[in-house]
Each structure stands twice: as structure tokens, then as C-alpha cells.
Structure 1
Amino acid sequence: MKQYIEQITQLLLGAAYADKRLAGAEITRIRSLLSTLLGGAEVPEALLRLINTFSPAAFNVQEVASRLDGLSREEKRKLLELVASVNDADEELDLAEDIYLRTVAAALGLPQEEFSDLALEILGGEELHGFLV
């Protein structure tokens, strides 16, 4: 996955900005994840610049994900786990973050059954019947 570190960084930054609020904990998590992906090395200056200059308005999930065709299904799943980790970093999971996770999964070509454990579960009317009674 190291050869895709720039694209992975962009997708993780997209997760950090998904709810329109960037938390320091999310950037800390991204830097930690990148260091781990790089074998414990310090995050290179080029990636730090990318983190500092990332423009969520100019970011295109589909375009970035399309450059990850060389990843295996298992690596794509791992990438979604990293996205979910960034979503969890601020200890607030909202619908925008879940939509972003699902968007990344779709752009990577992963069916829902391969990541449903990472996504929010939306309860329908039948599941809610008698919930507050």
C-alpha cells in the first residue's frame, strides 16, 4: 500500500473533512496511521504539506479512488477501516461521515456486505416498533 500513500492520505483527509469540521484528533490520527503504513517512519514532508494544504472543495473521491485499482480486496477493506478510524477519531460519528465511508467503498468497488460492519445501521419502522414503549 506504500506506493499509494498519497492517494490514501487524500482519502483519509476527505474523511476528516466529511462532517465539515476538522478536529485536531483527526489530523493526529491521520499522521499516526500514515506513520504506521510507512513502517513506523516519520511522515515525509511532502505528505505533511498535503495535509496542510488539502482543499476539501477541490477533492474528488471517485478520481482518487480510481487510482487505487492495484489494491487487492483485502487492502481496499483495510483502507475502509482506516477511513472509519479517522471518522471515529473525534468521538462523534455522524451521517456525513457514514455517507463518506459508503462513497469511498462504492468508488473502490466494494459491495456493502464487505464493509457493513463499519457503517451505521439505519433502523426502519419495523425495527423501531415498540422501542420507546
Structure 2
Amino acid sequence: MVVSKKSIAKSVIGLKKSVARSVIGGSKKPIAKKAAKVALLGVGGALLYYGLSAASSRKGAALIPDSIERRLDAVVDKLNARFGHGWAKLGVATLSAALPGPLVMLIGAVQKAEEMGLHEKLTGKQKHERAVHLASA
């Protein structure tokens, strides 16, 4: 069982304000620039989650729908054939450095909780609690 979007949203509430402040900054930026920055962070965060999940588990990224993950897997396979497997580690490291620290910490906690859930047969609620504990540690 995967952690639901609703439970993840509840987990994020504590980090939400600090991430939003570090991402958006002051209120003088035009709304389109803020929205673009938030969208880029969302895509970057999803790619970071995918990269961390792919590096640690053969089962894939539990929170990314299979249809999207299959497309990402096809792109990754082509990149691996062309550049070897080292580019993925570099990409994860680059995303980790580029994204705000609290967001990277939250993504890492969610990914670790999902991985633990696969090995320990945890329920969604147990994975949620584990992710909250990891994020607050």
C-alpha cells in the first residue's frame, strides 16, 4: 500500500511555509514567475524522488503512476545506453544541490519510508508516520 496524497499533504504542512519562503521569496515577483518557479520545483522534486527510488529499489517509484514511470524508464534506458549509469547519480546529486534543503529532506524521508514499507510490509498509515519521523529527525 502506498502513502496517499492526502497523508503526504498533511506531512508537508510543517515544512510548507519554510519551503514556500525559500522557493518563492518576497511578494514583489510577478505571479507568473512564482508559478513557474513552483512548477519547476515540483518537476525537480518528482525527478529527484524518481532518481532516489530507482537507485535504491527495483520495484520503482511507488508514488509515480505506472504510465509515467514506464515513459521515464524508457528515457533512462536510452540515456544509460548512451552515457552509462553514472549520469543518474550525477543528476540526483545536482537536483539535491539545486532544490531547497527542506524539500530535499522531505523527498528523501518519503522515499525511505516507501522503501521501508516494501521490506517491512507497512500499512499506508505506518509509512506516513515513518516519513513524518524521518523528516523531523
- Structure having greater relative contact order (Cα 8 Å, sep ≥ 6): 2
Q: When the two structures are superposed, what TM-score results if normalisation uses the length of structure 1?
A: 0.41
Q: When the two structures are superposed, what TM-score results if normalisation uses the length of structure 2?
A: 0.40
More helix as a share of residues = 2
